[in-house]
Amino acid sequence: MELFKRKSFLFLFLILVLSSVARLYRLDSIPGSLYTDEANQGYNAFSLLITGKDEHGYNFPVTLRSFGDWKPPLQSWLMIPFVVIFGLSETSVRLPSAILGTASVYLLYLLVVMLFPGSKAGNKMALIAAWSISVSPWHILQSRSAMLVGIALFFVLFSVIFFLKGVKKNHNIFWSFIFFGISLYAYYGLRVFVPLLILLLMVIYRQIFLAKPRLLLMPMVAICLAVAPLFLGFLTNQDVIFGRARTISVFYDQGVKLRQWELITQDRDAPPVLARFFHNKAYLYFRQISSNFFSHFDGRYLFLKGDTVTPFQIPGMGLLYLTDGFFLITGIVLLAVRFGSGQKKFLFGWLIISLIPASLTFMVPSSNRTFTAIVPLTALIAAGLSIIRDKKTVIAVSAIYIFLIGYFFRQYFISLNSSHSDWWNYGWREAVSETSRIGSKYENIIVADFNGMPYIYFLFYNRYDAGLYQRQAARTYVADRFGFEHVEGFGKYLFPENLDWQQVKRSPLKNSLYILPANLSDDAGYLYEVKDPRGKPLYRFYDF
Amino acid sequence: MTFKIALNLILAQSSILRFWHLESIPPQTENTLLEGRLLSAATGVLMTLVVFYFSRMLRINRKPSLLAAWVYSIIPQAIEQGRIYSPIQLLTFLLFLSGIIITKYFLKKNNTKLYFTLATLVFSVIPLYWWIKYPPLLPVDSILNNLFILLSPDLLFYRNITFWWGGLREFGIMYLFFLPFIILGLLKAFPGKRFLLFILLWILVFSAFSPAFPESREIFLAVPLWSVLTGTGLFYSFQARNIYVKTVATGSTLFLLYEYSQLIHYYFRHYPLIISGNLDKIHGAF
């Protein structure tokens, strides 16, 4: 037993080394550029550090208004120490995610050990789960970017571990709920997921709370303490809680309403009661939401193509390895047949709950909004893998996994940058750098606002004075059709939306530098051109 | 007696669903073969009976077999394929009917190994046709892609991608509220389950290999098997003593009936309107 413990410690150590390398290696340059949201959070961390306010001038915000998408602020707050140490850079923006992502590997190990306590099989399963998540394409992708969910998962795992500890030593439940509360500041989707997860845990471990009802007091105090700032923020502005939900929810999308109108119009001869019976919103929304929910079980999404939203894509890969599919099914059968009802309810319940936030939004399936599903999925894959005992099978399965992991590393660490740099908005760092070099000559620098939110890159890479920006920023706060609020300009920078290049050429602003996407500008007469790693033109500079 | 009445009622329902306004729903194109439609509808109705006997052949009791026949009679893809000229509907009928006849009259004893061998043989013969017609096999990623499409909840419950071959875009191959019963059918041990799942898996893999996927619609061969699985699940759900299972079963059945009414309304009211606007795009006999 002692030997096994020592061996398992060694394996765990090696797994953690592997996960650190996979998450920290060339973190600044793979993915090749900061995505708009990453740059925004980085600059807000910088702004909070310098002025104590976010880019909009809100003091110590509980939600970052950001592009009008009201981002939870925890990631930006966590970046601040790294911005102090490394300055405002790609590394300081991505490090919190990478570090907490690596820590999550260990936390998952602990969680599986606690779920299947006191058995050698449980320990083996925990080690396999840690290994599986350490090489998971889905987890590595999210840990190497500041897209909120990496740190959110860490806090959820932390909370659940404290809860499970609290089953024996009750005072831990207080800390569990404090961390649950903190996690609400990490990712928007957790504001749906966490209450449901708490409910699930309460139902599974209801005997403890029924035996000692006073134990409920601790969670209530803890959650009130943690949620109080958010609630106070909500009292001053409802968007603090509902801002993001408004624009991404299925109820904001007009598709269902238009469909209902179309069907009722076709039924115009029928009695209105009958038309309502067949074409009511409740049924149409139910179909939409349940379809969104089940879309996350599509094999093409899980194993072949992954998320279709670009920053969350890995070229030619799904979220899981192809072989994971087989072991996932084995794990599900094993869990259904062999394990206890508490473990079943916990893992299946978590899986179902983690898909609910994304089901209420459009643009599904979504790997980002369902990231917490990685915990039950990995545990189930580990359960499936843990039944392999035959040495030859172990060697064969290991060989297949080594091949698949090698393929993933190639796709992520090489192909992503060389062939798909546009997925991460490549080119803005180079454009800002060139603008800084030549920009002093011009009265105006006009950047066409076509590709994301270019203003944030000019703030980020120029380390633009945060206090000055808060005074200079020109915004209308009018949301576009996706709910995003654009910046009109600051200082000598202007960011016009839908810039008409033909019109500009006829009557340009004098002594101005224009920066446009290459596909919307002329192939000749430009001053400078930013190209992607394959030499394809991205942005062109023109002066008048 | 009650059983015979029930079976006849199911057949009557199946006939109404397949023959009612057959000449105009779906609207005819210039290539429509009305005789072909009649043949599909007739085999569709007979297939309801075949599903019952197929289920009995697997040594499943009479009641779940009756439920399987009822499920087949209302399953969206079976109705859709039963109302157009559909070679795959005819093939399914012939294949299952010959399966039953061979087993009942030529193979007197219940021999599971023999069933497996025969099934493998039968379903191996059809892919051979592709090997002759399309020598290069599909790339592995295409096969996997097809397989995942066939297993996707989207195709099974929400959107039939074979719109130009009679499928409804608003409904999947089956109803969403079949799902709880399918899960129960998968969990519950019943006679012939291994054989059923084996054939189901084989058809899925076989369909994924088709170079003419998805228009070749081999997946329709699986519909009788889904019906048996769902029918068995339905039966066991109402046998269960667990209050949660009973509640879920009752709720699901009510929603299932609502979905069924939605399908009938949509098929007979809205589908003809959509098809009328796309007649020029539909090729083949339809």
Give the mutation candidate from B170, B179, B205, B265 for the A interface (greatest A CB count, under 10 A). B265
pLDDT tier for residue A425 given thresholds of 50, 70 and 90 = very high
Please state the ipTM of this predicted complex. 0.91
Cβ contact (<8 Å) for B149 and A300?
yes
- Given pLDDT bands bounded at 50, 70 and 90, which one contains residue A13? very high
Residue A283, judged by CB atoms within 10 A of its CB (0-12, 13-18, 19+), counts as middle
Q: Nearest CA of chain B to the CA of A523: how many Å?
A: 39
- Which among B203, B187, B197, B278 is positioned nearest to B240, based on CA atoms? B187
**B-chain residues near A290 (CB < 8 A):** 176
Residues of A contacting chain B (CB within 8 angstroms): 263, 266-267, 270, 278, 283, 287, 290-291, 294-295, 297-300, 303-304, 322, 336
Residue with tokens 């609502």: B258
Determine whether the interchain pair B153/A291 forms a contact, defined as Cβ–Cβ distance below 8 Å: yes
State the best of A203, A262, A290, A294 to mutate against chain B, taking most chain B CBs within 10 Å: A294
pTM > 0.90: yes or no: yes
Cross-chain CB nearest to B273 (options A266, A299, A300) = A266
Q: Which two tokens stand for residue A370?
A: 């369902």
- Shortest distance between the Cα of A278 and any Cα of chain B, in A, equals 6
By CA distance, what is B268's nearest residue in A? Answer: A267
- A304 vs B262: CB contact, 8 Å cut-off? no
Which of A260, A279, A287 is the best mutation test for B, with the most CBs of B within 10 A?
A287
- Mean pLDDT computed over B60-74: 95
C-alpha distance from A220 to closest chain B C-alpha (Å): 30
Q: Average pLDDT for residues A400-415, to the nearest whole number?
A: 96
Contact indicator for A45, A76 with CB cutoff of 8 Å: yes
The closest CB to that of A295, out of B147, B153, B273, belongs to B153
Using a CB-CB cut-off of 8 Å, the residues of chain B touching A326 are none
Contact assignment for A304 to B153 by CB distance below 8 Å: no
Dihedral sign, Cα of residue B56, residue B58, residue B63, residue B69: negative
The pLDDT-based confidence of B122 (bands split at 50, 70, 90) is low
Using an 8 Å CB-CB cutoff, list chain B residues near A336. Answer: 187
SS3 assignment for chain B: CHHHHHHHHHHHHHHHHHHCCCCCCCCCCCCCCHHHHHHHHHHHHHHHHHHHHHHHHCCCCHHHHHHHHHHHHHCHHHHHHHCCCCHHHHHHHHHHHHHHHHHHHHCCCCCHHHHHHHHHHHHHHHHHHHHHHCCCCCCHHHHHHHHHHHHCHHHHHHCCCCHHHCCCCCCCCCCHHHHHHHHHHHHCCCCCHHHHHHHHHHHHHHHHCCCCCCCCCHHHHHHHHHHHHHHHHHHHHHHCCCHHHHHHHHHHHHHHHHHHHHHHHHHHHHHHHHHHCCHHHCCCCC
> Chain A residues with CB inside 8 Å of B176's CB?
287, 290
SS3 content of chain A, % helix, strand, coil (to 5): 65, 10, 30
Lowest-confidence region among A249-258, B68-77, B142-151: A249-258
Segment A79-92 shows an average pLDDT of 97
Q: Which strands make up the sheet holding A474-479, listed edge to edge?
A: A474-479, A485-490, A493-494, A444-447, A512-517, A537-543, A528-531
- Average pLDDT of chain A, as a whole number: 93
Report the residue of chain A nearest B273, measured CA to CA: A266
What is the average pLDDT across A311-326?
A: 95
A70 close to A63: Cβ distance less than 8 angstroms? yes
Nearest residue of chain B to residue A301 (CA atoms)? B148
Whole-number pLDDT of residue B51: 96
CA A330 vs CA A2, A124, A334, A337: distances in Å: 30, 16, 6, 10
Q: Nearest-CA residue of chain A relative to B152? A: A298
Tokens of residue B40, six digits: 């599909």
**Cross-chain Cβ contact A322/B144 below 8 Å:** yes
pLDDT band at A253 (very low <50, low <70, confident <90, very high): confident
pLDDT confidence tier of residue A339, bands split at 50, 70 and 90: confident
What's the pLDDT tens digit per position in A521-531? 887 889 999 99
pLDDT tens-digit map of A172-181: 999 999 999 9
User: If pLDDT is split at 50, 70 and 90, which confidence band does A383 have?
Assistant: very high
**Window from A230-234, A425-429, B118-122 with minimum mean pLDDT:** B118-122
Q: Is A537 helix (H, G, I), strand (E, B) or coil?
A: strand
Choose the closest CB to B270 out of A266, A304, A336.
A266
- pLDDT the model gives residue A310: 86
Q: Which parts of A184-296 fold into alpha helices (H)?
A: 190-204, 206-211, 217-236, 239-248, 255-266, 272-278, 281-295
**Residue B28 to chain A, least CA–CA distance (Å):** 20
pLDDT band at B33 (very low <50, low <70, confident <90, very high): confident
Whole-number pLDDT of residue A341? 82
Cβ contact, residue pair A298, B176, below 8 Å: no
Q: Least CB-CB distance to B152: which of A266, A278, A299?
A: A299
Query: Under an 8 A CB cutoff, do B270 and A263 touch?
Result: yes
Query: Pick from B149, B157, B266: which is nearest to A294 by CB?
Result: B157
Q: Contact B152/A287, CB-based, under 8 Å?
A: no
Tell me which chain A residue has its CA closest to the CA of residue B170. A287
A310 CA to chain B: closest CA distance, Å?
20
pLDDT, one tens digit per residue, over A41-66 is 999 999 999 999 999 999 999 999 99
How many CB atoms are located within 10 Å of the residue A310 CB? 12
Give the pairing type, strands A485-490 and A528-531: unpaired
Chain A residues with CB-CB distance to B269 below 8 A: 266-267, 270
CA angle, B205 then B208 then B210, to 5°: 120
What CA dihedral angle connects A17, A18, A22 and A24, to 10 degrees? 10
Cα–Cα distance for residue pair A167/A210, rounded to 1 Å: 13
Q: Which residues of A touch B148 (CB under 8 A)?
A: 298-300, 303-304
Cβ contacts of B43 within 8 Å, gap of 6 or more: B82, B89, B90, B93
Q: From CA A487, how far away is CA A470, in angstroms rounded? A: 12
Across the interface, which of B151, B152, B176 has its CB nearest the CB of A290? B176
Indicate the pLDDT class of residue A2, thresholds 50, 70 and 90: low
- CB-CB neighbors (< 8 A) of A270 in chain B: 269
Residue A110 has pLDDT above 80, yes or no: yes
Contact B153 A336 (CB under 8 A): no
Question: Are β-strands A474-479 and A528-531 bridged in parallel, bridged antiparallel, or unpaired?
Answer: unpaired
Residues from B in contact with A at Cβ < 8 Å: 141, 144-145, 147-149, 151-154, 157-158, 176, 187, 258, 261-262, 265-266, 269-270, 273
At residue B124 the predicted structure's pLDDT band, cuts being 50, 70 and 90, is: low
Residue of B nearest to A299 (CA): B148
> Averaged over B251-264, what is the pLDDT?
96
Residues of chain B contacting A320 with CB distance shorter than 8 Å: none
Helix (H) or strand (E) holding A540: strand A537-543
- Residue from A259, A264, A298 whose CB has the most chain B CBs within 10 Å, to mutate: A298
Of A278, A290, A336, Cβ closest to residue B265: A278
Tell me whether residues A283 and B144 touch, CB distance under 8 A.
Answer: no
Q: Which of B283, B268, B271, B272 is nearest to B30 (CA)?
A: B283
Mutation pick from B143, B145, B147, B148 vs chain A, by most beta carbons of A within 10 Å, is B148
In angstroms, rounded to a whole number, what is the distance separating the alpha carbons of residues A514 and A509? 9
Instruction: Check CB contact under 8 Å for B148 and A303.
Output: yes
Q: How far apart are CA A88 and CA A457, in angstroms?
A: 12
Report the DSSP beta bridge partners of residue A446.
A494, A514
